[in-house]
Chains A and B, each alone.
Chain A
Amino acid sequence: MSPAFVSAHVEPSRLARSVATAVGDGGRFAGLVATAHDDGSTDLRALVATPSELATIETVLEPGVRGYPALTPLVASAGWYEREIHDLFGIEPIGHPRLDPLILPLNADDQRPRPGNREGPTHLEPDAAALSSHLGGEGVFTIPYGPVRSGVFESVEYLVETSGEEIPHLRTRVYHKHRGLDRRFGDFQVADAVLLAERVEGTASVAHATAFCQAIEALGGVDPPRNALLVRLVHAELERVAVHLDSIIRHTEGAGQAVAYARMSLHKEGVLRLRARLCGHRFGRGVVVPGGVAGPLALSPAEATVEVTRIDRAIAEDGHALMATPSFLDRLRGTGILPRQLAFEHGALGPVGRGSGLAADVRIERSYGAYQFLGLEAAAGFAEGDALARQRVRIEEISQALHLVRQALEELRRSGSATWSHNVPPPDGAAWSSVEAPQGELVYLVEAESGRLVRVKPRSASFHNLALFAQAFRGDIFTDFVFIEASFGLSIAGVAG
């Protein structure tokens, strides 16, 4: 059941060119992950996605090798990945155009965390002096915003650099929230590591737990029981609905649509309460376990279906009214345009990509879990690339998600089986896994040695998409900000790690 993972090994000097070739042949660059080893060597793995598979191109940097020819000059979307790897491993991508610290600004001589390596530093103080100052140039001044935000938001710092004449430039700093999760995974047994996966991006706990467990199951050669896949789908799709509603709520708040704000908030609360009734937790934590799920839904499929139908109708009615409110539409139309070409070149994920005409969706392209037997059609695309298109995608996906939930509940109702999980042997080896999280493709790399987790690396869609965020700003940075931020729907926790 696990999708094919094709891998090729190359010399470090050939990594960049090989990846560029794979991307040129129609692949989509999907990430770059490093793993340090106790002997001082470091593995680098680039991920290239095609509609049918996830391929890796790997290289090994021998002990003492501190650099390799950068990917970024050939594959621009590798830019942030190489910055992250430089922060965590101290390895230099030679020729990188702008190697500013991203998640961990450190002094040049500081020890680096080097996840994968057994030994690591116990405390590292971020050093703001390691950050480059503004872009430079005559008369450029910087307006900082954050990391403490004005409102109930995750901490993130935005720097608006403006010279008064040209279009202001936006820079994003996420390091304040960096928790050092990559190293923390190595402290846990598999069963407890799932709990940490749930906390990487706390609003997408089910997606993270599922991606992590799928990798463990692939290593153990175990397919979870069909029932378990259906329960995972129910929770994953309700999670998607909640995350999409959150984005819509933030749009309505920014646009001063007080009643719509109240109504959509009410629906979101309804979804969280339904999730709590199904499993005892408003965010679905504890549901997904290696080999399956912890148990059946706490509501009968019939009771759950009634609730889902009620919520679906309520959201659809209010969503319909909202999308017929001219003052709201005017505010979003033409705001924060992400051109299709740019989205395509970068491989924009999730609703951000789908609002710019891309179709990538793991549930369809590399179908997994219960999506394989429920069947899912690609939702209608919206190609305008503005905040309105992203909003339309989300409204469409909410109704599609609730439809899937009802289908899964119907399958569960008819199922005679009472098996909810299978035993999974202790993991050994390396595996990738991916799911379509609410924000888009979520990838996990899991590497283990006879049961010990050597390296667990989540690659959130938010990490991949955040690099595009600054590019959606044209002219009026301040009035559009709230809508562009809401329509990107990024999880800072998931970016900062």
Chain B
Amino acid sequence: MAWVLRGLRDGVVTSRYPRRPDGYGDGYRAALSVVEGADAAAVDGHLGEKAALASLCPTGAIEVGGRLSVDRGRCILCGRCVEARPDLFAFDPAPEVATLTRRALLVPREHDDALELVRSELAQRVRVLRRSIHIRHVDAGSDGSEEWEVAALTNPVYDVQRLGIFFTASPRHADVLLVTGVGTAGMAEPLRRTFEAMPEPKVVLAAGTDATSGGLVYPTYASGAGIGSIVPVDVWVPGSPPSPFSLLHGILVGLGLLSEAGSET
């Protein structure tokens, strides 16, 4: 009896995202960006300076070649670069970080002719997935925090059930495979089996920087450079771990309901 009333406390706590922007989601450090215009300045620098820039990053996410770029797929958001060179690097609070290609995680983004094709193939594939969507989660060697953020999607704040999204225990009823972790040698086979047991059409999400590139953990004798070599990934969601908003955006991108990060450019 008491619980019925307790359930009504605090009124509406559920986020309206994605129909309305959510203030909290926007305040979170979701990704790293290269400051606009910083590109040229850095690339003009000496070789030594370029090497010093690249060596700021513990995961090798900073690349200084013909231009200055950051691979969000490798970035663990440690903030080393922002602290050392706020003129070149900045945190980006927008939670919409998911992309449809691994290459699109490199910022600033370069035009990619292949992207249009990838986008329309995915749209074609998920067309039949309309009503309720079932997600199968597999941990392929996470640090455990990704599971918390995935599980948070069902709490009253994110409440993905309101969008017709559910988690399922059975691969045979799943439309979306959401994978966390670096892709350890020991999880490769169980992950592959889960993927194969899912009916077509299916969408695969690499959830987090670890699942995308192996993050800080790769390389070791037991860990992979992400899950991309084990199952074919459709949506990449960087973050260490990715926040629930970033995960939700990624899922909706995979279903063709939202556009991926940077798609307007």
Q: Enumerate chain A interface residues (CB-CB to B < 8 A).
A: 104, 113, 120-126, 147-155, 175-181, 183-184, 188, 192, 195-196, 199-203, 205, 246, 257, 259-260, 262-263, 265-266, 268-269, 272-273, 276-277, 280-283, 285-286, 318, 321, 324-325, 491-494
Report how far A379 CA is from B75 CA in the complex, Å.
41
Chain A positions within 8 Å of B146 at CB level: 202
Q: Is B222's CB under 8 angstroms from A180's CB?
A: yes
Q: How far is the CB of A321 from chain B (nearest CB, A)?
A: 5
User: Measured between alpha carbons, how far is A282 from B247 in the docked complex, in Å?
Assistant: 15
User: Can you list 28 residue pairs at the A/B interface with Cβ under 8 Å?
Assistant: A104-B222, A122-B219, A124-B222, A147-B190, A148-B138, A155-B138, A155-B190, A178-B184, A178-B222, A179-B184, A179-B222, A180-B220, A183-B221, A184-B220, A246-B148, A259-B6, A260-B6, A262-B156, A263-B6, A263-B7, A263-B9, A276-B28, A281-B29, A282-B149, A285-B240, A318-B6, A325-B2, A493-B144
**A-B residue pairs, 6 tightest by C-beta:** A202-B143, A202-B145, A150-B169, A180-B220, A265-B155, A180-B222
Contact present for B143 and A201 (CB under 8 Å): yes
**Docked-complex contact B139 and A155, CB < 8 angstroms:** yes
Contacts of B4 in A (CB 8 A): 259
Q: A155-B190, A195-B76 are in contact. Are A177 and B156 (CB under 8 A)?
A: no
Least CB distance, B212 to chain A, in whole angstroms:
14
Q: Are B221 and A124 in contact (CB under 8 A)?
A: yes
Query: In the complex the two chains form, what is the Cα distance from A265 to B141 in whole Å?
Result: 24
B251 part of interface (Cβ distance < 8 Å): no
Q: Tell whether B187 is near chain A: CB-to-CB under 8 Å.
A: yes
* B residues less than 8 Å from A493 (CB atoms): 142-144
Whether B97 sits at the interface, judged by CB under 8 Å, is: no
**Alpha-carbon distance A181/B150, docked complex (angstroms):** 24
Please report the total number of B residues contacting A with Cβ < 8 Å.
62
| A303 CB → nearest B CB, Å | 15
Q: For the complex, give the distance between the alpha carbons of A283 and B79 in Å.
A: 15
CB atoms of A121 and B221 under 8 A apart: yes
Contacts of B2 in A (CB 8 A): 321, 324-325
A491: which B residues are within 8 A, CB to CB? 144
Q: Is B258 an interface residue (CB 8 A)?
A: no
Interchain CB contact under 8 A, A321 and B222 = no
Q: Are B29 and A266 in contact (CB under 8 A)?
A: no
Contact of A153 among B139, B191, B194 (CB under 8 A): B139
CB distance from A298 to the nearest CB of B (A): 11
Check if B238 is an interface residue, CB within 8 A of chain A.
no
Minimum Cβ distance to chain B for residue A34 (Å): 17
Pick from B24, B78, B167, B243: contact of A151, CB below 8 A.
B167
Whether A266 pairs with B147 at a CB distance below 8 angstroms is no
Contacts of B181 in A (CB 8 A): 155, 177
Residues of B within 8 A of A175 (CB): 186
**Are B155 and A205 in touch, CB under 8 angstroms?**
no
Candidates A177, A183, A281; contact of B141 at CB < 8 Å: A177
Q: Are B184 and A176 touching (Cβ within 8 A)?
A: yes
Residue B228 CB within 8 A of the other chain: no
Please, which residues of chain B bring their CB within 8 A of the CB of A201? 143-144
B58 within 8 A of A: yes
Question: Is A176 within 8 A of B144, CB to CB?
Answer: no
Alpha-carbon distance A132/B190, docked complex (angstroms): 19
Enumerate B146-170 residues with CB–CB distance to A below 8 Å.
146-152, 154-157, 167, 169-170
CA distance A309 to B15 in the complex (A): 24
Give the docked Cα–Cα distance between A455 and B173 (Å): 45
Q: Which of B173-227 touch A at CB < 8 Å?
A: 181-182, 184-187, 190-191, 193-194, 215-217, 219-223
Q: In the docked arrangement, what's the CA distance between A54 and B210, Å?
A: 35
Compute how far the CA of A270 lies from the CA of B78 in the bound complex, rounded to whole angstroms: 23
Q: Which residue of A lies closest to B219 (CB)?
A: A122
With a cutoff of 8 Å between Cβ atoms, the chain A residues found around residue B194 in the complex are 148
The answer to whether A202 and B58 have CB atoms under 8 Å apart is no
Contact pick for B243, options A104, A178, A282, CB 8 Å: A282
A196 to B2, CA, bound (A): 45
The answer to whether A196 and B7 touch across the interface, beta carbons within 8 angstroms, is no
Give CA–CA (A178, B9) in the complex, Å: 43
Q: Is the CB of B148 within 8 A of A125?
A: no
How many angstroms from the CA of A246 to the CA of B29 in the assembled complex? 23
Q: Are B185 and A200 in contact (CB under 8 A)?
A: no
Contacts A202-B146, A493-B143 known; list 11 others, CB within 8 Å: A150-B170, A153-B139, A179-B220, A179-B222, A180-B221, A184-B220, A195-B58, A195-B76, A203-B148, A262-B7, A325-B2
- Measured CB to CB, the closest approach of chain B to A127, in angstroms, equals 10
Q: Determine if B3 and A179 form an interchain contact, defined as CB atoms under 8 angstroms apart.
A: no
Residue contact A179 to B167, C-beta cutoff 8 Å: no
Contacts of A257 in B (CB 8 A): 3
Contacting residues, chain B, for A283 (C-beta < 8 A): 145, 241
Given contacts A121-B221, A151-B167, A259-B4, contact A269 B142 (CB under 8 A): no
Are A195 and B216 in contact (CB-based, < 8 A)?
yes
Is B13's CB within 8 Å of the partner chain A? yes
Q: A125-B185, A148-B194, A202-B241 are in contact. Are A260 and B147 (CB under 8 A)?
A: no
B167 shortest CB reach to chain A, Å = 6
Tell whether, in the assembled complex, residue B241 and residue A266 are in contact, meaning their CB atoms are under 8 Å apart: no
Contact status A321-B3, CB under 8 Å: yes
**In whole angstroms, how far apart are the Cα atoms of A113 and B185 in the complex?**
14
Instruction: Judge whether B10 is part of the interface by a CB distance below 8 angstroms.
Output: yes
Report B-chain residues with C-beta under 8 Å of the C-beta of A260: 3, 6
CB of B134 within 8 Å of the partner chain: no
Tell me, in angstroms, the Cα distance from A493 to B139 when the chains sit together. 10
How distant is A367 from chain B, measured CB to nearest CB, in Å?
A: 27
> Taking the complex as formed, is B248 at the interface, i.e. its CB lies under 8 A from any CB of chain A?
no
User: Could you tell me the distance between the alpha carbons of A180 and B220 in the complex, rounded to whole angstroms?
Assistant: 6
Q: Are B144 and A266 in contact (CB under 8 A)?
A: no
A262 to B240, CA, bound (A): 25
Query: Which of B137, B155, B191, B243: most chain A Cβ within 10 A?
Result: B155
A262 to B194, CA, bound (A): 29
Q: CB of B104 within 8 A of chain A?
A: no
Q: How far is the CB of A495 from chain B (nearest CB, A)?
A: 10
Residue of B with least CB distance to A126? B186
Chain B residues with Cβ below 8 Å from A280 are: 28-29, 79, 91
Query: Residue B70 at the A interface, CB < 8 A?
Result: no
Contacts of A120 in B (CB 8 A): 221
What's the Cα separation between A395 and B187 when bound, in Å? Answer: 35
Whether the pair B221, A122 counts as a contact (CB closer than 8 A) is yes
Is B140 part of the binding interface, using a Cβ–Cβ cutoff of 8 Å? Answer: yes
Contact in complex: B140, A155 (CB < 8 Å) = yes
Closest A residue to B76 by beta carbon equals A195
Alpha-carbon separation in the docked complex, A325 to B3 (Å) = 9
Q: A443 to nearest B CB, angstroms?
A: 19
**Cα distance A268–B186 in the bound complex, in angstroms:** 31
